[in-house]
Amino acid sequence: MFISSVDIYCRRFTLEIAVSSRQPTAHLTLLTPPWSLPKYFLLAPFCPLSSHIFLFAILNVVFNTSTINSSIRQIDDQSWLIEGSLLLCRQQIPSSDLASWSDGNGGFYVLSSSSKPPSETQPLRDASEIQKVYDAGAVSAVWRVGEAFIKLKKLITPNATREHTTLQYLRNKQPLDFHIPDVYYHSDLGDRYLIVLGRVPGRTLNGIWYELGETKQQECVRRIAKICMELSTWEGETISGVDGKRLTDQFLEKSTDEMSFDPGRLLENCKKIGMDCSSSVFYHADLGPGNILLDEMDGSISIIDWETVGYVPKDWIRTKFHCSSGMDLPERAGDILPTDWRVRVARELAKLGFREVVDEWVAWYGL
């Protein structure tokens, strides 16, 4: 069984929330495209809202006016203000003691703290060289800035493992059979997390899958399955991030639960699903085609978005490919289904001895 995007996403839906027994039900019609909403929100129409914490998270997303997607503002042609406290400047030489990276045209961007931010700034211009490439409104956003990407997200789970921590863990494990981004800068900014990541070579499989021939497609599938196998040889003590903090895999918490991602709670859930929990192994839990890049010049693979990553029961690795429609390919007319990527990877993982418990997960999750 493979859970399709139809089971998870809808383009327009009305969400009914009973505010209290003495007040009428609130009807919220959401016109926001589903891909701009966080995963726990996408599941909301299909699950009862019994948790006050979950309800608060939803209302916070809907009514929060302090959106992350407008956090970078223009000062002048060569400088920008980020989150009201970080100054981004473009100059001719890199900095020796501040975060800096190439602008791709012979210059450099330099990032520093701003003790006295300018009082007047403007929204990014449409023709700005800083381009937003991902936008989830009040939850997260990503901008392309020269040869780097600035990612900013709301810390819904403050004690979650940070992406820079996982990337450092991977660097300590080198050599790797794939590229990972360099980390130029990272910081917690109140209830938000910012990280600046270097660009990696190649194009995403999302963008080139339909252009690749069958041979190259299957080679990509085999390599990712092999990478999953190699990563699964690294073991941890709990179902958590690499530093023991929270692993925020929302498919391992029911939407009606607190979404605490407590390791003990996740272990309980995995046992209820029927996974073999005798050990926890390392896994990138979002290996969709948008997070995998292929350099067609040298055939190298790059993997990005090391946010939902950590130690899980081995059975979860293949199962996640079955149940996460977030790993689908973009829809396109023709014979190839959007599920083609994850169906193939799951099949290859089966050849390598990975089990799946997708039927048990569906029954437990309540879909």
Place of tokens 């450092």: 168
What CA–CA distance (Å, rounded) separates 160 from 148?
24
Listed in sequence order, the residues at least 6 apart from 303 whose beta carbon sits closer than 8 Å to its beta carbon are 178, 179, 180, 227, 284, 287, 291, 292, 293
pTM of the entire predicted model: 0.83
Give the separation between CA 159 and CA 83, rounded to whole angstroms.
21
Q: Which amino acid is present at 162?
A: R
Q: Which residues in the chain come in under a pLDDT of 70?
A: 4-66, 256-257
| pLDDT score, position 257 | 63
315-323 helix and 340-351 helix, angle to the nearest 10 degrees: 160
Report yes or no: 114 and 85 within 8 Å, Cβ to Cβ.
yes
pLDDT of residue 137: 81
Domains of the chain with bracketed CATH: 5-63 (no CATH), 68-198 (3.30.200.20), 203-365 (3.90.1200)
Name the nearest CA neighbour of 82 among 50, 114, 108.
Answer: 114
Distance CA 228, CA 237 (A): 19
Q: How far apart are CA 130 and CA 47, in angstroms?
A: 39
Residue 175 to residue 179: CA distance in whole angstroms: 10
Give the pLDDT of residue 256: 67
Can you tell me which residue has the tokens 């859970």? 3
The pLDDT of residue 50: 34
